[in-house]
Structure 1
Amino acid sequence: MQLKPALGAIVAVSMLAIVFWQQTHLDPKAPDAEFTTLSGEQIVLRELGGQPVLITFWATDCRACIEEIPDLIALHQQFAHKGLQIIAVAMPYDIPSRVKQLSEMRKLPYTVALDIEGVHARAFGDVSLTPSSFLIDRERNVVSRVTGRFNLADWRARIAAM
């Protein structure tokens, strides 16, 4: 039974190594990305120039992602009129009908996009853990990346300073 604690430690260290690798291998410029929203609209990231953008990768079966929704709504309510675009990108394994159902049920006021083929997850540094969020400034620089829940007060301050 000594194997279980050792296995848990190996998994924890592996996850930390993945997060560290992702943090250190991220291009400072946001990738060119064209998102398809639930309604079929195309949003091209480079065409949002001059606006801050928050991109969050999430899944309907991710508890932390669901817990983060009120924070995303709060940021949308506080900063949308100042140009902040929030794009919540559903992970490739998520079922589009579940994404749509949850989005409608929660009345999400920000953009929800699908990443059926995993193109965006790869473009943003092979995102595999959710939630993973990226704050992009007006010049399209990734100024913050958080794996796990972001700190609402910290991101409010960062967005307000943009």
Structure 2
Amino acid sequence: MQNIGSKLFGVVVIGLLATLVYVTVFSDGLGKAPEVMVTNNQGEEIALNKPKKPVLVNFWATSCPSCIQEMPDMAKMKQELGDRFELIAISMEYDPQEQVQKFVQANPYPFVFVMDKDGKIAKSFGDVLLTPTSFLIAPNGKIVYKQVGELHFADVTERIKQMSPQF
């Protein structure tokens, strides 16, 4: 009887491992990033569905206290990891353009700011409505992390390091 139990346990473990391998290697996980082009601070175009390195996309608003609160930590992460990834902060369509520009000028963070003037970028990411909402996109264009609310910086930092070991 004990032999059957251990064999059954082994089959279950193998099944779980096979499922884990399939999900991490073959499935789309959280899906593919949308076909959106943004321009970084060097004037280079970045295709979010085909980035050359990991990209962290953060939807934010000047009226969002959590968004403003996490920006210094995002800047610190960008400074620590440098060129291992791109960080793109996308302001929401409802955020007044002048207010966003004032904020960006007053806070020269080391990442890219993009204004979603018509809401198309937020819509292309599944109709983002809540801020902050963040997506981590792998170099293969797959979304590997999504967070509604403040980022879990340790998790995101570790994933970026795993996806960019060459740096």
Q: TM-score, normalised by structure 1?
A: 0.76
- C-alpha change, 1:110 and 1:149, in structure 2 (3 Å) is same
State the SS of the aligned residue for 2:136.
strand
- C-alpha change, 1:64 and 1:110, in structure 2 (3 Å) is same
> CA separation in 2, counterparts of 1:81 and 1:42?
14
Report the residue type matching 1:98 in the other structure.
Q
- C-alpha change, 1:110 and 1:123, in structure 2 (3 Å) is same
* Equivalent pair of 1:73/1:108 in contact (CA under 8 Å): yes
Identity of aligned residues (%): 34
* Counterpart mapping for 1:71-150 below 5 A: 71-82=73-84, 84-150=85-151
* Equivalent pair of 1:58/1:65 in contact (CA under 8 Å): yes
In our comparison, the structure showing a higher alpha carbon Rg is 2
> CA separation in 2, counterparts of 1:128 and 1:92?
10
- Unmatched runs of 5 consecutive residues or more in structure 2: 1-28
How many corresponding residue pairs? 134
Deviation of 1:122 (Å): 0.4
Q: TM-score, normalised by structure 2?
A: 0.73
* Equivalent pair of 1:89/1:114 in contact (CA under 8 Å): yes
Deviation of 1:68 (Å): 0.8
2:63 corresponding residue in structure 1: 61
* Equivalent pair of 2:134/2:148 in contact (CA under 8 Å): yes
* Counterpart mapping for 1:29-40 below 5 A: 29-35=32-38
Larger displacement relative to structure 2 (60-69 or 102-111):
102-111
- Unmatched runs of 5 consecutive residues or more in structure 1: 1-25
RMSD: 2.1
